[in-house]
Structure 1
Amino acid sequence: MTIVIAGAGIGGLTTALGLYEAGIDDVRVLESVPELRPLGVGLNILPNAVRELAELELLDELLESAVPTGALEYRNRHGQLIWREPRGTAAGYRWPQLSVHRGRLQAVLARAVRRRLGPGAVVTDARVERFADRADGRVDVHVRHPEAKGRSVTTADALIGADGIRSAVRAQLYPDEGPPPWNGLVVWRGTTLAPPFLDGRTMIIAGDDRRRAVVYPMSEPEGGAGGPVLMNWAVARAADPDAVFEAADWNRPVPPDSFLHHFADLAFAWLDIPALVRSAQESYVYPMVDRDPLPRWTHGAVTLLGDAAHAMYPMGSNGATQSIVDARVLARELALADTPAAALSAYEAERLPALTRVQASARRRGPEVVIDLAHERAPEGFADPAEVFGTGELESVSAEFARIGGFDPETVNTRPSLAAASAIGGRR
């Protein structure tokens, strides 16, 4: 069985590794850039996805360049604590939550793909432009090679479109869809080498109903305890009325001084967010866009995965997390089903309804809605969150989001493995 994957991002590379584990090794990952480089900023990978990476025997290597997140705190614009919850193993999961630079995670995955599937498994300078169904049920994948200034055609038993929010595969399946819809918010993101804050394992989300800041560490201290760590930060607000964005591109650099005045008062005794941003190694601007849910991902021997299937707002750390779970389910089904088309349909049946719910929750701000509620009820702050929230209200918001995403501790710890070998035994 020959599988072609469009896109060497987190979802595409994890799919290749899952296929290898399932006994499918004729896999090619086609990536448009001429060279994979450690681009991007931070990601949080939730325990349900870290479990999958652990089962792919990657956790030890990832822990060398990631931080196990110990807690998540929501705070108001005055820096006052609204809600704190343990994360990862501190919350009872068998696997940690990981904060990691996207480029480092991608590098770990790419190295593993090349080790296990061979150095030619990841093909760069190969942009999937379109596909054509064949009478025998297979698919011809038409590829452009920008640097080499050429084109080629590859025939596959299945094509997986893991080529991101501006997916060429999705565009062919839904040619009238248009660009990703924008909700009017702008996000600035970057990384800074800075001293750790709080306990060095905490992720914070702070702000009000108009502005939001997310900060978390992604590395261990350089030079030992007390040294600087690589910090991920993101700040967001409503765009100015005349703002125009022609494309959703995370790699559009901007100087911090061009936006920092909007967040100048988010300086707390325990973390000076403006100072952190001002010292950034890199900073990028991005319109907060997503994709509308689709009625179908799968069409014959072609399906979508990750952001190509269900791009969502960055609420609740679900982007890369859900792409990893997608990859494992798809690999399992390709190992078990009688035909590739049947496998892709089974994958869609399991994943599409769940991800449609997660997308809808992200559009409602997911668990970050507690910051909106805190501002609405106590814009000048409070001495105790019990003055603002009813008994159990905050716990229920968090628990409901975990339930929708399928990453509550009981589900993650007790569900059967998504590995193909485990599923074969369970289905006999």
Structure 2
Amino acid sequence: MRVLIVGAGIGGLTTALSLHRTGVHDVVVLEAAARIAPLGVGVNILPNATRVLDELGILEPLLAKATRTGELRYYNCRGDLIWREPRGLAAGYRWPQLSVHRVDLQAELLAAVRERLGERVVVTGALVTGVAVGEHGSSVEVEHADDGCVVVSGDVVIGADGIDSAVRAVLYPDEGAAPGNGVVMWRGTSWVPPFLDGTTMIVSGDDSRRIVLYPIRRADTGNVMVNWVCAQPAPDGVVPRSGRTGDLARFRESFDAWRMNWLDIPGIIAAADEMHEYPMLDRDPLPRWTFGRVTLLGDAAHAMYPMGSNGATQAIVDAHALAHALAGHDHVEDGLRAYEAERRPVTTRLQISNRGMGPESVITIAHQRAPHGFADISEVFTPDELAAISAQYARTGRFDVDSVNRVDVGRCS
């Protein structure tokens, strides 16, 4: 079986490795960019996905570069603690939650793909301009800088080419651009002294703004590289359509007063060498991913607002599910249908939940109930309310402790 993967991001590369592990060695990864240069920011990987990375032999080398997230805390913008919970190993999972630089993760995946499947498996500068859905195979039309326009044929085509997927555009030609919610995100990384225990993820906000911070690298000096994301409605009504270098002056006024007595948030932001500005986008859930021998994966299938650490996580789990579904069925079409039946309902629920802010909704609720802050969180929430919101979100995505730890070997959902 020959598999064509469109996109050499986290989802596409993990798919190539997962297919190789299940016995598929004829794989071609087509990447539109002339070179693979991931954005220099962080990404958070939940235990259901680090389990997959462990199975693929990627987790151990990654641990030397990543932070094992030990706790998650939600605060209002005054620094009042709303909720805290252990994460990863500290929460009872058999696998850690990782906060890692996207460059480090993608480099490990790419090196493993080239080592196991061959140096020429990943073809860069290959812009997919068309997809043919066949009954017994599929093909893609590719514009390549060196070879011009060529047709590449295979038994399966997997669109793992992100939120602006060329493959999805062929399957859904009337869909148009990804919709936004009017929110702009500014992202950067800063080297600073560690805060709290050095493994804690912080989310702070009110009813319209958010800031997320977590360490992703540690230097010999003891400082940590903190990935940070600030989000708020576009201050001037102008929402960029794609990433661009951000201007601190455009948003710092909204966050200058955002200080906790133990964390200088404005100082962390100002310490960044550069920052990037993005619109907050997602895609509407699809009624169908698979057409013949063509299917979608990751953001191409289910781009969602960045809540709950589920972007890269769900792409990795997709890759595992797809490879095992194909391996477990005699007919390709049956395998693709089984993959979609397993993954589409879960990711659809997450897409919908994230439009309501997912687990971060506790911050919005806290602001609505106590806009001027609180002395004790019990004044704002009933004893079990916060835990129930967190637990429900984990069950929605099937990454609660019981689901992840009890999954049979060879299956990961």
Q: Where on the TM-score scale, by shorter chain, does this alignment land: which range?
A: over 0.9
| Contact residue 193 and residue 281 of structure 1 kept, 8 A | no
Structure 2 counterpart of 1:426: none
Q: Are 1:285 and 2:283 matched, yes or no?
A: no
Counterpart among 195, 212, 225 of residue 214 in structure 1: 212
Per-residue deviation, 1:149: 6.6
TM-score scaled by structure 1?
Answer: 0.94
Between the aligned residues of both structures, percent identity stands at 56
Where does residue 240 of structure 1 map in the other structure? 235
CA contact (8 A) 1:38 1:104 kept: no
Asked if structure 2 preserves the Cα contact closer than 8 Å seen for 1:192 and 1:282, the reply is no
CA gap 1:401/1:64 in 2 versus in 1, 3 angstroms: same
Are 1:384 and 2:376 counterparts?
A: yes
Residue 282 of structure 1, CA deviation: 2.2
1:257-301, Cα deviation, whole Å (9 max, x unpaired)? 222111111121211111111111221111111000000000001
Give the distance between the partners of 1:106 and 1:137, measured in 2 at CA. Answer: 33
Task: Provide the residue aligned with 2:10 in structure 1.
Answer: 10
| Structure 1 residue 231 displacement after superposition | 0.8
Give runs of aligned pairs for residues 273-352 of structure 1, distance below 5 A: 273-352=265-344
Report if aligned partners of 1:41, 1:232 keep a CA contact under 8 Å in 2. yes
- Tell me if 1:231 matches 2:226: yes
2:223 partner letter: P
Stretch moving more, 61-70 or 149-158: 149-158
Distance 2:401 2:282 in 1: 27
Unmatched runs of 5 consecutive residues or more in structure 1: 424-428
8 Å contact 2:133–2:291 — kept in the other structure?
no
Residues 235 and 250 in structure 2, CA contact (< 8 A), matched pair in contact too: no
In the alignment, structure 1 residue 406 sits paired with structure 2 residue 404: no
1:143 — aligned with what?
142
Q: Which amino acid aligns with 1:236?
A: A
Q: What one-letter code is carried by the residue in structure 2 that aligns with 1:417?
A: V
Q: Residues of 2 paired with 1:244 and 1:394: CA distance?
A: 33
Matched, 1:48 2:43: no
Report how far residue 207 of structure 1 moved. Answer: 1.2
TM-score by length of 2: 0.97
Distance in 1 separating the partners of 2:205 and 2:341? 38
Aligned partner of 1:200 among 198, 201, 207: 198
Q: Secondary structure at the match of 1:191?
A: strand
1:304-351 Cα offsets, whole Å, 9 max, x none, are 000000000000000100000000000011112122222111100111
Mapped pair 1:356 → 2:348: yes
Q: Is the 8 A contact 2:183 2:239 kept in 1?
A: no
Q: Which digits, 9 at most, give the CA deviation of each residue in 1:125-170, with x for residues without a partner?
A: 1111111133x5111211111x437121111000000000000000
Give the Cα–Cα distance (whole angstroms) in 2 for the partners of residues 215 and 280 of structure 1: 13
**1:54-109 CA-partner distances (Å, limit 9, x unpaired):** 01111111111110000000000101111000000000000000001111111110
Q: CA RMSD in A?
A: 1.4
Structure 2 residue ranges without an equivalent (≥5): none
Supply the distance in 1 between the matched residues of 2:339 and 2:287 (Cα, whole angstroms).
14
For residues 121 and 411 of structure 2, what CA distance do their matches in structure 1 show?
21
Relative to structure 2, which stretch is displaced further, 387-396 or 234-243? 234-243
Q: Is the 8 A contact 1:22 1:419 kept in 2?
A: no
Kindly provide the amino acid, as one letter, of the partner of residue 402 in structure 1.
A
- Rounded Cα–Cα distance in structure 2 between residues aligned with 1:290 and 1:10: 18
**In structure 2, distance between residues paired with 1:149 and 1:289:** 34
Per-residue CA deviation, residues 29-53 of structure 1 (Å, 9 max, x unaligned), is 1111111124241110000000010
Single out whichever of 34-43 and 59-68 deviates more from structure 2: 34-43
CA contact (8 A) 2:131 2:140 kept: yes
Aligned residues: 413
CA distances 1:346-373 after superposition (whole Å, capped 9, x unpaired): 1001111111101110001001011011
Residue 212 (structure 1) shift: 0.6
| 3-state secondary structure, aligned to 1:154 | strand
Cα distance in structure 1, aligned partners of 2:328 and 2:402: 26
Match of 1:272 in 2: 264
